Amino acid sequence: MSREEVERIDDQGMTAWDTRDAEAFANLFADDFVLMDLTLPEPLRTKDGARGYAQAWFTAFPDMSVKQTNRVANDDSVAAEVEFRGTNTGSMVMAGREIPPTGKSVIGRGAYFARLREGKIVEFSAHPDVAGMMMQLGFMPAM
């Protein structure tokens, strides 16, 4: 794959998140992949899992908007820093429990890394700033 192709696929992923399209996000993955997120107890390995992962974020923050603040790509991988803004008007699942909406707005930051093969994501690792979000939502004291 070329760097340009990797960037095009990454752009499709960013569009899927910004338009809250869980199906489009799941379709970016190969048949055999692993999706890891620091907030998940186990890696996800199915498209239903990837779809549910994205949908959980979209449910918790239905007005979410996402933008990249930095990106590095080569011929088989991409890494990016992201910023998202949204209001927590939907329930969230944390530590296996459903948490009611707080109604609070957040500016979330994080990073992700993806490795691609034959036009599909085979490894995806997300690193959201969970502590920053929890402070903004009122679940942790601000420092």
| 3-state helix, strand and coil shares in percent for the chain, rounded to the nearest 5 | 30, 40, 30
Please, which pLDDT band fits residue 143 given cuts at 50, 70 and 90?
low
Whether 120 is in a domain gets the answer yes
Whether 127 is in a domain gets the answer yes
- Of 40 and 103, which is predicted with more confidence? 103
43-87 tens-digit pLDDT: 999 999 999 999 999 999 999 999 999 999 999 999 999 999 999
Whether 88 is in a domain gets the answer yes
Domain count, the chain: 1
pLDDT (0 to 100) of residue 95: 63
Q: How far is CA 86 from the centre of its chain?
A: 13
CATH at residue 38: 3.10.450.50
| Three-state DSSP state, 99 | strand
Please, which pLDDT band fits residue 12 given cuts at 50, 70 and 90?
very high
pLDDT above 90: residue 140: no
Give 79-82's long-range contacts (Cβ < 8 A, gap of 24+).
79/111, 79/112, 79/113, 79/114, 80/10, 80/111, 80/112, 81/109, 81/110, 81/111, 82/14, 82/109, 82/110, 82/111, 82/112
Please, which pLDDT band fits residue 141 given cuts at 50, 70 and 90?
confident
Whether 47 is in a domain gets the answer yes
125, containing H or E segment: strand 120-128
pLDDT above 90: residue 38: no
Whether 61 is in a domain gets the answer yes
Whether 132 is in a domain gets the answer yes
Whether 143 is in a domain gets the answer no
82-139 tens-digit pLDDT: 999 999 999 988 766 788 999 999 999 999 999 999 999 999 999 999 899 999 999 8
**Helices 47-60, 3-18: inter-axial angle, 10-degree rounding:** 50
Domain that holds residue 101: 3-137
Placement of tokens 């601000």 in the chain = 142
Neighbour tally for 60: CB within 10 Å: 23
The answer to whether residues 32 and 95 touch, using CB atoms and an 8 Å cutoff, is: no
Whether 142 is in a domain gets the answer no
Placement of tokens 């992700």 in the chain = 112
